[in-house]
Structure 1
C-alpha cells in the first residue's frame, strides 16, 4: 500500500483523496495536489469551504 495520495475533484466540485498510481473512478479528476494522506486532507480542508454540490449552490 502506497503512502502517496492525490487530491481528486468531481464535476460537482466535491473533493476526495485517491491512492497515487490507482486508476481514478469515472467522473473524478486529479486536482493537482499530491502527498501524504494528512497533507491531502489538510489541503481539502483549506480549499473545500462549501460542501454542497455545485448543482445545489
Structure 2
C-alpha cells in the first residue's frame, strides 16, 4: 500500500473510541488499538467524521 491508509475515500471507514471519549478515524483492515473500541462503521469518510462531530459535541455538552 502506498501512502497513508487515512487518505482517500474509496473504502469503508470506522470510528474508534476509548474510555475517555476520544475518537479516531480508522480503517477496517487495521487492528484496533488496545483500549479502543469500534463505535461507528460506514461506507464514507464524511459520514464517519459527521458521527464524530455529533458525539464529541454531545460529550462536551455533558461535561
Q: Deviations over 1:2-55 (max 9, x none)?
A: 611111100111111110121111211101x212111100111011112xxxxx
Higher Rg: 2
The runs of at least 4 aligned residues of structure 1 exceeding 3 Å deviation read none
Relative to the length of structure 2, the TM-score reads 0.67
What RMSD in Å do the two structures reach over aligned CA positions? 1.7
Relative to the length of structure 1, the TM-score reads 0.72
Task: Kindly indicate which of the two structures has a greater share of residues assigned to strand.
Answer: 1
Which one scores higher on RCO, CA 8 angstroms, separation ≥ 6?
A: 1
What is the count of residue pairs matched by the alignment? 50
* Gapped regions of structure 1 (runs ≥ 5): 51-56
